[in-house]
Amino acid sequence: MFKAKVRGIYSTALTRLLLDNGFKIVQPSAAIKERFNLPSMPEDNYQIDLEINDRFDKQGVNVIGNPASVEKFASILFSTFDDVIIRRRISTLASPITEGHSDANLAAVISETLKEAETSDPQRKTHIDVEFPFCSKRKLDEIRSITVPTICGHHYYKACGGRIAYMLEMAEKLLERGGSLRDVEALFKETIQREYPHEGSRIDMEHVKIDGRVFHLGEARIIAFNEQEQRIKLLRVFSAAGIYDGLKVRKEPGDYAITNMKIGEWSFKTSYFSKNGVYKGTYVNINTPLEIYPNRIRYVDLEVDICMWPDGKIQQIDLEKFNLKMQEGYVSERLREIVSKKIKESLDSLSLSLEKEALYAND
């Protein structure tokens, strides 16, 4: 039985998940010990196989442990969550991966290295960086709610930090005292509403790659926001020349982009126009469901994109990049199935006439 130590904003949900999958929880916090009725045991009798802590950005967890326990945990995550991302790092104590391996066989190399580390030295450690996008956070909410009263969106609100996370704690204390979930959630959402952007606000777009790199696509202005439907329209104006990625069309100073998105959706569309309103093309990004934070919109880019040009030509691009990430162990087969479905939905929804009419009239 593997022994795990868990800390951070995901600790209750992950403790439940680990216990249900045969792990033993050691060195629990006072809250975890009480919630799960864990016995008090001499801490120094236990060697920790797996240790889980929050990432600095609260968007997931850092995990370190012996290779067997880490791989079992990774397998549990892939079988439980639709959109979880796992980034593996081999400890420097393990045998190094030598140069000359192609990307295609990197997953096999990692697997062999883990096996070697496990059999040659039980003290060697493996690290994984786990990202919990929108769907994973929601599933974690469900798991947490089995043990303790939980507001829908708990882990997302915790990741927001600041006043929102503080107000969440206050709201859930009301639940623990017997407050109505419906009433407390309504009061909580009303209280935090002012923390979020609105029509006219400027907001960043945080574009996270599967491998963990983060790109900021520039400040955008919200020109329409249907808060009830969670639909947002963004405007970005470009000052520098270049090339639009995917479309391979020239970007010129004064060009602008209109982005239409819905929070919680697996894709969004951006249409590009010249400063005179001439349509240049549309780019559909396939991603983990969109999340909106007080100062940014965040998602993990799933590499696959769809392009449409002014002549009506439509092309899906970069699916092979996603498939390679799956082979390397970053994403699961279940996510690949979702991506395939979302590609078809996006292809079916594209309309050249509608995209051409998306131009922005600056009154």
For position 350, what pLDDT does the model report? 84
Rounded to the nearest 10 degrees, the angle between the axes of helix 11-20 and helix 67-80 is 100
pLDDT of residue 324: 95
164 plus 73 within the same structural domain = no
**Residue count of the chain:** 363
With respect to residue 363, please indicate whether it lies within any of the assigned structural domains. Answer: no
pLDDT score, position 12 = 98
22 and 125 inside one domain: yes
222 within domain boundaries: yes
Task: Tell whether 343 is covered by a domain.
Answer: yes
Whether 207 is in a domain gets the answer yes
* One domain for residues 58 and 76: yes
Do residue 267 and residue 323 come from a single domain? yes
State residue 121's pLDDT score: 58
362 found inside a domain: no
Residue 65 lies in a domain: yes
Q: How far apart are CA 223 and CA 52, in angstroms?
A: 41
Render the burial of 185-218: b for 16+ CB within 10 Å, e for the rest.
Answer: bebbeeebeeebbeeeeebebbbbebeeeeeeee
Q: Distance (Å, rounded) from C-alpha 135 to C-alpha 122?
A: 35
Residue at 292 is within a domain: yes
State whether 89 and 224 are in the same domain: no
Distance (Å, whole) CA 319 – CA 138: 26
Classify strands 126-131 and 214-216 as parallel, antiparallel or unpaired: unpaired
CATH number at residue 321: 2.40.380.10
Residue 88 is predicted with a pLDDT of 86
Q: For residue 245, how many other CB atoms are within 10 A of its CB?
A: 12
Residue 92 is predicted with a pLDDT of 45
Residues 144 and 128 grouped into a single domain: no
What single string gives the DSSP state of each residue in 131-184?
Answer: E--HHHHHHHHHHHHTTS---TTHHHHHHH-HHHHHHHHHHHHHHHTT--HHHH
What pLDDT, on the 0 to 100 scale, is given for residue 25?
Answer: 95
Q: Which of 149, 177, 195 is the last residue of a domain?
A: 195
Domain containing 120: what range?
A: 3-133
Indicate the residue among 133, 158, 178 that finishes a domain.
133
**Listed residues 144, 164, 195: the one ending a domain:** 195
Query: Both 255 and 187 in a single domain?
Result: no
Whole-number Å distance between alpha carbons of 202 and 222:
6
Which among 147, 177, 137 has a CA at the least distance from the CA of 12?
Answer: 147
- Number of domains present in the structure of the chain: 3
Question: Which pTM does this prediction carry?
Answer: 0.88
pLDDT score for 40: 76
Together in a domain, 219 and 331: yes
Query: Is residue 124 located within the same domain as residue 153?
Result: no
User: DSSP secondary structure string, 249-308?
Assistant: EEE-TT-EEEEEEETT-SEEEEEEE-TT--EEEEEEEEESPPEEETTEEEEEEEEEEEEE
User: Same domain, yes or no, for 339 and 208?
Assistant: yes
Residue 25 lies in a domain: yes
Residue with the two structure tokens 């199935």: 337
Asked if 271 and 255 touch (Cβ cutoff 8 Å), the reply is: no
Q: What is the pLDDT along the chain (363 residues), one digit of tens a residue?
A: 899 999 999 999 999 999 999 999 999 999 999 999 998 777 645 689 999 999 999 999 999 999 999 999 999 999 999 999 999 875 545 433 333 344 444 455 455 555 554 454 556 889 999 999 999 999 999 999 999 999 999 999 999 999 999 999 999 999 989 989 999 999 999 999 999 999 999 999 999 999 999 999 889 999 999 988 999 999 999 999 999 988 999 999 999 999 999 999 999 999 999 999 999 999 999 999 999 999 999 999 999 999 999 999 999 988 999 999 999 999 999 999 999 999 999 998 888 777 766 665 544
Q: Is 145 found in the same domain as 65?
A: no
Q: Are residues 174 and 291 in the same domain?
A: no
